[in-house]
């Protein structure tokens, strides 16, 4: 089942961005970003969704940090990098994906150079993906602090796979898990 049909099956429809989201420079939108419309916080003020390119940028920066953690191995420096990632995911859970430091960089340096997105995305699936990232990286940090050094690169590798898939292909594994949960709850309610 394609990502767009998964979104449709979950009862999620695209919405148009607000007119205030217009930008003078047009470069197109990110290919492969599954659109979805849901209320919540926004990278574009006054709109009901977030720019779908923002979470992909966040994922790209996360992937870079996880590569650094992997290159550092099992030592305390790798643990610090993984802890920074866990803290970033924590911000994403509490504030939403638009409340992370990576999203601030996107809004400040990248978003002004892009055309408005064709559709906005529901912030709930990316926020759930931040929770998944927090659990994985937090577990790696906890186990690293308890002396299980290999847990650091294992957690970093898992985060790297998910963030790379999101950044490179627009496939957000945590978002897909969220949508699967929505579908399962709907099916259970209808049964």
DSSP string, 124-167: HHHHHHHHHHHHHHHHHHHHHHTT-TTHHHHHHHHHHHHHHHHH
For residue 56, give every residue at least 6 positions away whose Cβ sits within 8 Å of its Cβ, in sequence order, or none: 30, 33, 166, 167, 170
Give the number of other Cβ atoms within 10 Å of residue 132's Cβ: 20
By residue range, what is the domain housing residue 178?
50-190
DSSP designation for 172? -
Q: Which of 122, 99, 103, 100 is nearest to 111 (CA)?
A: 103
pLDDT number for residue 12: 53
For residue 103, tell me if it sits in a domain. yes
CB 80 within 8 A of CB 144: no
pLDDT number for residue 130: 98
For residue 61, tell me if it sits in a domain. yes
For residue 166, tell me if it sits in a domain. yes
Helices (H) and strands (E) in the chain, counts: 7, 0
For residue 116, tell me if it sits in a domain. yes
For residue 73, tell me if it sits in a domain. yes
pTM for the full predicted model = 0.77
CB 82 within 8 A of CB 186: no
Q: Tell me if residue 83 falls in helix, strand or coil.
A: helix
H-run or E-run covering 44: none
pLDDT tens track of the chain, all 191 residues? 434 444 554 555 444 444 443 332 222 333 333 444 333 333 333 347 999 999 999 999 999 999 999 999 999 999 999 999 999 999 999 999 999 999 999 999 999 999 999 999 999 999 999 999 999 999 999 999 999 999 999 999 999 999 999 999 999 999 999 999 999 999 999 98
For residue 131, tell me if it sits in a domain. yes
For residue 19, tell me if it sits in a domain. no
Total number of domains in the chain: 1
pLDDT number for residue 17: 44
For residue 92, tell me if it sits in a domain. yes
């Amino acid at each position: 089942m394609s990502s767009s049909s998964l979104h449709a099956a979950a009862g999620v429809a695209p919405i148009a961005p607000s007119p205030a989201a217009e930008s003078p420079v047009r470069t197109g939108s990110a290919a492969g970003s599954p659109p979805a419309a849901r209320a919540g916080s926004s990278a574009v003020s006054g709109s009901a969704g977030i720019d779908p390119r923002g979470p992909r940028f966040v994922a790209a920066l996360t992937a870079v940090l996880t590569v650094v953690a992997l290159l550092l191995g099992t030592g305390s420096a790798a643990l610090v990098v993984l802890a920074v990632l866990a803290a970033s995911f924590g911000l994403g859970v509490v504030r939403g994906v638009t409340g992370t430091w990576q999203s601030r960089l996107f809004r400040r340096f990248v978003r002004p150079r892009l055309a408005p997105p064709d559709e906005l995305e529901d912030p709930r699936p990316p926020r759930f993906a931040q929770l998944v990232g927090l659990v994985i990286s937090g577990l790696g940090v906890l186990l690293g602090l308890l002396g299980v050094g290999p847990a650091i690169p294992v957690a970093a590798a898992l985060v790297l796979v998910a963030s790379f898939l999101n950044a490179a292909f627009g496939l957000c594994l945590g978002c897909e898990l969220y949508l699967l949960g929505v579908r399962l709850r709907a099916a259970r309610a209808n049964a």
